[in-house]
Amino acid sequence: MGISLRNIDKSYKNHLAVRDISFEVKPGELFGLIGPDGAGKTTIFRMLTTLLLPDKGQATVAGFDVVKDYKSIRKSVGYMPGRFSLYQDLTVEENLTFFATIFGTTIEENYDLIKDIYEQIEPFKDRRAGKLSGGMKQKLALSCALIHKPKVLFLDEPTTGVDPVSRKEFWDMLKRVQKRGITILVSTPYMDEAALCDRIALIQDGEILDIDTPEAIVNKFPKTIYNVSADNMYKLILTLQNYEHTQSVFPFGEFVHYTDKRDHFEIKTLISHLEYSGLQEVTMSETKANIEDAFMELAKK
Amino acid sequence: MKTENVIEVQDLTKAFGDFKAVNAISFEVKKGEIFGFLGANGAGKTTAIKMLIGISHPTSGRAKVVGYDVFTQPESIKKNIGYMSQRFALYDDLTVNENINFFGGIYGLSRVQIREKRKQLIEELGLEDVADKLVGALPLGWKQKLSFSVSLFHDPKIVFLDEPTGGVDPITRRQFWEMIYKAADQGTTIFVTTHYMDEAEYCDRVSIMVEGRIEALDTPKKLKQQFGVDSMNDVFLKLARNIE
């Protein structure tokens, strides 16, 4: 009762939005589509939720074909689109009642599924949805997507533009939803959220770069990465970019992530080179790759 | 060296009825500094920025931006700063060249100045092949880089960047920050908001707003020491509470 895509293509006029996409989401899995704007994430969501027809390939959701069985899919899935799309002029409670009614159920029937989330916005149940803060809108949208107890939940960039505190809360909620046996496909442009998924697909320009567990993806990183820091970040980047043995140099938080073209080299010689170039307080140490390193390495090819 | 203040804010407040969206904030930003302005959604960042760029009248307090008073000289502020937001960047239905000409004209540059600077900008960004294409057809990352360059077109002393890298791919995000470093290195002050906490680490100093107040302001290194954590993400999580 998961999700399956085989060789899916979709074009808009002469722009190929997704090309030959295949992946499987196992029942009960929390699967992440990770990629920047324009990667094709929303197009995939719209095909799986039967709002858009693929040009080529097959896909099933909860065992139903996205073309032939679209009516059954619509009954079995919950979809939270990237844009807030509840009724702004209905209250919190009216929105929830509306979605429950549409799906032939009641708030009471599945209340235990949304209790955790809905309780946080219940004090504002008479407020119009349009007047809610970003975080509250998000909780209401998730409640509405869950109220008919879907088998599969689709969340298209639920945390975009959301601050780190609210993002963390949202992911905690998702984990609890997953424990109830609901299969979840979620997309995000924030690479740090990849680590919170069971498996991920890295996607860019309509093509999948890799599919695996987050750990496996970072373990595949082919090079040793070094954290380098110095007194002047900009000068450090320029100096490393002009160094003959540099393979890649990217700022990463307080450090620069550096990889070297050579298989073996002395850290000391590079430090001396940097110091000779006028940098001070130079430090350098080995570090582990993270999802962004992996994404950038794969995206280069 | 970094001594001249480009922003000076003292007890700046904006109230909507009884609600103080910005509650007596005070800070200074120096020339050439990269200043990170962080806070949870709803903490008051946008309201504060609107006052600093001269489009919202403060309730009380004092603030000067590039030497002009936010109460009495908001028009002079608008002319002398650069501004770029995630949502509104450039006109999608104008070409790259047309956008540059338009914004150059808005900021009062002469035709000759615009022509020379446009050529230089297009070269630096490697946009020669798409200079006559509509901006709407460019990938988001290019748009954001172009938008940043356009916000610097009139050589402002300070540029305000409101979530400039949201949704941008990781490589372009880093190229964008290299442009920021370069501009700061050349003396432009950078005032930036972001939800990427690794980007907070790139700033010289960072302030964190919580419920209308600035609850922390220091270098990323000192903030991490102060809160006894390893990353700015953890500093943020410790400090910022939801006001809902």
Q: What is the pLDDT of residue A199?
A: 98
Q: Has residue B64 been placed in a domain?
A: yes
Chain A CB contacts of B86 below 8 Å: 161
CB of A84 within 8 A of CB of A141? yes
Distance CA B137, CA A247 (A): 31
Residue A292 confidence (pLDDT)? 94
- CATH level 3 topology of A3-219: Rossmann fold (3.40.50)
Check CB contact under 8 Å for A163 and B240.
yes
Parse chain A into domains and list their residue ranges. 3-219, 225-300
Give domain status of residue B244, yes or no: no
Determine whether the interchain pair A252/B198 forms a contact, defined as Cβ–Cβ distance below 8 Å.
yes
Q: How big is the CA angle at A301 (ends A207 and A237), to the nearest 5 degrees? A: 120
* Fold agreement (A3-219, A225-300): no
Q: Which CATH architecture has domain A225-300?
A: 2-Layer Sandwich (3.30)
CB B218 within 8 A of CB B62: no
- Provide the residue type at A4 as one letter: S
CATH code, domain with B9: 3.40.50.300
- Judged by CB atoms closer than 8 Å, whether chains meet at A204 and B169 is answered as yes
Single out the residue of A59, A14, A55, A19 nearest to residue A39, CA to CA: A19
pLDDT, tens only, B79-122:
999 999 876 679 999 999 999 999 999 999 999 999 999 999 99
Q: Which of B163, B196, B237 sits opposite A165 (nearest CB)?
A: B237
Q: What would the 3-class secondary structure string for B5-36 be?
A: EEEEEEEEEEEECCEEEEEEEEEEEECCCEEE
Q: Determine which helix (DSSP H) or strand (DSSP E) holds B104, and give its type and residue range.
A: helix B96-106
Q: Is residue B122 part of a domain?
A: yes
pLDDT higher than threshold 90 for residue B209: yes
A38 contact B CB<8A: yes
Question: By residue range, what is the domain housing residue B156?
Answer: 5-239
For the cut 50, the answer to whether the pLDDT of residue B193 exceeds it is: yes
Helix, strand, or coil (residue A256): strand
Judge contact between A82 and A155, C-beta under 8 A.
no
User: What are the backbone angles phi and psi of residue A247, rounded to the nearest 5°?
Assistant: -95, -50
Q: Do A234 and B181 touch (CB under 8 A)?
A: yes
- Closest Cβ–Cβ partner in A35, A120, A166 for B41: A166
| pLDDT above 60 (res B129) | yes
Is residue B173 one of the residues assigned to a domain? yes
pLDDT recorded at residue B242: 46
Residue B24 in this model has a pLDDT that exceeds 90: yes
**Rounded distance between C-alpha atoms, residue A53 and residue A67, angstroms:** 7
Q: How many domains does chain B have?
A: 1
Per DSSP, chain B holds a count of helices (H) and strands (E) of 9, 10
Read off the pLDDT of each residue in B187-212 and give the average, rounded to a whole number: 94
- One pLDDT digit (tens) per residue for chain A, 301 residues: 799 999 999 999 888 999 999 999 999 999 999 999 889 999 999 999 999 999 999 999 999 999 999 999 999 999 999 888 899 999 999 999 999 999 999 999 999 999 989 998 999 999 999 998 878 888 999 999 999 999 999 999 998 878 888 888 899 999 999 999 999 999 998 898 999 999 999 999 999 999 999 999 999 999 999 999 999 999 999 999 999 999 999 999 889 999 999 989 999 999 999 999 999 999 999 999 999 999 999 998 6
How far is A260 from chain B, CA to nearest CA, in Å? 18
Nearest to B38, CA basis, from B227, B222, B215, B221? B215
Q: How would residue B244 be classed by pLDDT, with cut points 50, 70 and 90?
A: very low
Model confidence band, residue B243 (pLDDT cutoffs 50, 70, 90): very low
pLDDT of residue B195: 87
pLDDT, residue A109, reads: 94
DSSP A193: G
Choose among B166, B242, B244: nearest Cβ to A160: B166
